[in-house]
């Protein structure tokens, strides 16, 4: 065996130094000529699937802004029967309160509820989130792990904007009505 030669299970005995580009081309052609059709197909499949897999990993996260927070009753386990039969799981205590957030995405507005009262998120900051098994996972400020939130409601953004305008109009009308009643009740002086 020559000192400049290498051998492996996939490649025939080849030399690592070439004197011309033609020899390199001939050597590479003979290496791939010895591959079976299955190995060539697997190589092509691998080369085609790598960019697709990398693209899927980077686009799995979405982003949105948390615009509102309030404290509400905690949601119980979504599959209470299964949780009870398995003998475990974190149960929401009656009367416990958890944070409820409104997260505004590009096209959808989500109302999410934390599983415990200590799941606090910063308001008015861009938040990256993803979905996993009917839950929203949010990583806060480079935390060690993601926080899990129940999804209470999802609304398309234009529909949510309309409902907010209606609520504001009703609140303004109610304020004017109470102010007018107060003026009518006061006796003239």
Rg (CA), the chain: 31
Share of residues in the chain with pLDDT > 90 (%): 24
- Per residue in 124-145, is it b (16+ CB within 10 Å) or e — as a string? eeebebeeeeebbbbeeeeeee
Helix (H, G, I), strand (E, B) or coil at 142: coil
For residue range 82-98, list pLDDT tens digits in order.
556 656 555 556 678 89
For residue range 23-54, list pLDDT tens digits in order.
555 555 555 566 677 777 777 777 777 666 66
Q: What is the model's pLDDT at position 120?
A: 86
Question: d(Cα 157, Cα 52) in Å, to the nearest integer?
Answer: 30
1 or 170: which carries more pLDDT confidence? 170
Domain ranges of the chain: 5-58, 62-157
67 or 119: which carries more pLDDT confidence? 67
Judge whether residue 154 has pLDDT over 90. yes
The residue among 139, 148, 135, 142 whose CA lies nearest residue 99 is 148
What are 73-76's contacts with CB under 8 Å, separation 24+?
Answer: 73/97, 73/98, 74/98, 74/113, 74/114, 74/115, 74/116, 74/117, 75/113, 75/115, 75/150, 75/152
Take residue 85 and report the two structure tokens written for it. Answer: 């039969």
Share of residues in the chain with pLDDT > 70 (%): 59
The residue whose two tokens read 């799995």 is: 60
pTM given for the model: 0.56
Q: What is the model's pLDDT at position 1?
A: 47
Question: Max Cα separation, the chain?
Answer: 118
């Amino acid at each position: 065996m020559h000192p400049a030669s290498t051998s492996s299970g996939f490649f025939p005995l080849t030399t690592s130094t070439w004197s011309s580009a033609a020899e390199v081309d001939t050597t590479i052609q003979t290496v791939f000529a010895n591959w079976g059709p299955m190995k060539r197909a697997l190589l092509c499949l691998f080369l085609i699937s790598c960019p697709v897999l990398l693209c899927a990993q980077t686009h799995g996260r979405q982003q949105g802004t948390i615009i509102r927070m309030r404290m509400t009753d905690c949601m119980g386990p979504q599959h209470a029967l299964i949780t009870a039969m398995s003998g475990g799981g974190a149960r929401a205590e009656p009367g416990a309160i958890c944070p409820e957030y409104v997260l505004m995405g590009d096209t959808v507005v989500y109302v999410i509820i934390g599983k415990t009262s200590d799941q606090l998120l910063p308001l008015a900051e861009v938040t990256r989130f993803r979905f996993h098994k009917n839950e929203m996972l949010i990583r806060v400020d480079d935390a060690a792990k993601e926080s899990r939130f129940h999804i209470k409601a999802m609304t398309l953004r234009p529909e949510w904007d309309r409902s907010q305008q209606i609520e504001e109009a009703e609140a303004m009308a109610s304020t004017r009505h109470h102010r007018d009643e107060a003026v009518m009740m006061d006796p003239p002086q």
